[in-house]
Amino acid sequence: MDRLEVGRLTEVMSEHPILVTGATGKSGRRVVRQLRDKGLPVRAASRTGACVFDWRDRRTWDTALEGVRSVYLVQLDGTKLVRPFLERAVRHGVRRVVLASGRGIDDPHYVKDSGGVLDGIRDSEAAVRESGLEWTISRPGWFAQNFSEGFFADAVRSGELRLPAGDGAASFVDAEDIAAVLTDGRHAGETYEVSGPRAVTLAEAVATISEATGRAIRYVPLSAEAYVAELVRQGWPPADARAFADVIEPLREGRDAHVSDGVLRALGRPARTFAEFAASTAAQGGWPA
């Protein structure tokens, strides 16, 4: 897209609220902040957001879409609701969609998809490409923020991260970079895979967090069976415990260790390192106490 088109798009976007779904989550919250930092009007939507929006309650969709020309979609995992949502968005006059997708969705061996998450994301991507709207897709790998806000935050707080991930590594990506790619506004028709600049093992990750926070945190590798048994002892239903162990398997197998160049391609700068993520989270008081 040339400079004139970017200008036109910014103008169109700034006259109308920009809808962001999943606006209270790890990626959506940062998309909202980064758009507002650019001076753009944002409608932050989720079940507990300023705009009450529930993917499962289609009556909330029209209010969210009223007057909107541009949408940033964080989907509801395990569903195929993006397609009907985009059909409705087109009827409301929406012209542009940006989708937060995921890396690995084209690889049938990436993960056992028991919750239908990858199937849902694949359908969302197809719906976006077939929508007739101007579109951009970002496919991030494992978020660095899983350690500070997500799956691993409780373990980081307790000082011991116990996982069936062996000495596997991943190129964890800072959600600030994910949001920066999503909100850049120049990339019509592009799909960007985004990751951090190098693979980091779980032992390295917790050592880096220890350094940034001054707290002792250790990583304890478990077998998948021992991990499932631990979760069941904590009250998890066995099927859920098994499914969660399956989610960790790509980490153990290093299936997310490769580095993608999406941040560099989209933004012309390198992705933030895990150490930069850990230090900036500490500076903002963002580590779980």
Ligand X SMILES: NC(=O)c1ccc[n+]([C@@H]2O[C@H](COP(=O)([O-])OP(=O)(O)OC[C@H]3O[C@@H](n4cnc5c(N)ncnc54)[C@H](OP(=O)(O)O)[C@@H]3O)[C@@H](O)[C@H]2O)c1
CB of 113 to ligand X, least distance (A): 11
Is the CB of 119 or the CB of 211 nearer to ligand X?
Answer: 119
Q: Specify the 3-state DSSP secondary structure of 51.
A: strand
CA dihedral defined by 36, 38, 40, 43, rounded to 10 degrees?
-30
From the CB of residue 145, how many other CB atoms can be counted at a distance below 10 Å? Answer: 25
User: Could you tell me which residues are beta bridge partners of residue 135?
Assistant: 97
Handedness of CA 256, 214, 151, 238 (dihedral sign): positive
Rounded Cα gap, residues 274 and 211, in angstroms: 12
Residue reference for tokens 């590798």: 221
CB of 24 to ligand X, least distance (A): 4
CB of 6 to ligand X, least distance (A): 26
Q: Should residue 260 be labelled a site residue for ligand X when binding is judged by CB under 6 A?
A: no
The correct pick among 18, 27, 169, 170 for binding ligand X (CB under 6 A) is 27
Residue reference for tokens 């050592």: 207
Is the CB of 94 or the CB of 100 nearer to ligand X?
Answer: 100
Is the CB of 49 or the CB of 168 nearer to ligand X?
Answer: 49
Is the CB of 25 or the CB of 164 nearer to ligand X?
Answer: 25
Tell me, residue by residue from 52 to 81, as one string, x for binding to ligand X by CB under 6 A and - for no binding.
Answer: -xxxx-----------------xxxx----
CB of 15 to ligand X, least distance (A): 26
Question: What's the full length of the chain, in residues?
Answer: 289
Could you please report the per-residue DSSP string of 109-137? TS---TTSHHHHHHHHHHHHHTSSSEEEE
Contact 169, 258 (CB under 8 A): no
The correct pick among 17, 102, 197, 250 for binding ligand X (CB under 6 A) is 102
Q: Specify the 3-state DSSP secondary structure of 234.
A: coil
Is the CB of 142 or the CB of 277 nearer to ligand X?
Answer: 142
Rounded Cα gap, residues 13 and 40, in angstroms: 7
The correct pick among 49, 196, 197, 221 for binding ligand X (CB under 6 A) is 49
Tell me, residue by residue from 213 to 232, as one string, x for binding to ligand X by CB under 6 A and - for no binding.
Answer: --------------------
Could you please report the per-residue DSSP string of 161-228? EEES-TT-EE--B-HHHHHHHHT----TTEEEEE--SS-EEHHHHHHHHHHHHT---EEEE--HHHHH
Q: Should residue 100 be labelled a site residue for ligand X when binding is judged by CB under 6 A?
A: yes
**Count of positions on this chain that bind ligand X (CB under 6 A):** 27
Is the CB of 9 or the CB of 165 nearer to ligand X?
Answer: 165
Amino acid at 249: E
The correct pick among 24, 114, 191, 210 for binding ligand X (CB under 6 A) is 24
Contacting range for ligand X; rule: CB under 6 A; set: 9-17, 42-50, 215-223, 268-276: 42-50
Contacts of ligand X in 134-163 (CB under 6 A): 140, 142-143, 146, 150
Catalog residues that contact ligand X under the rule CB under 6 A. 22-28, 46-49, 53-56, 74-77, 100, 102, 117, 140, 142-143, 146, 150
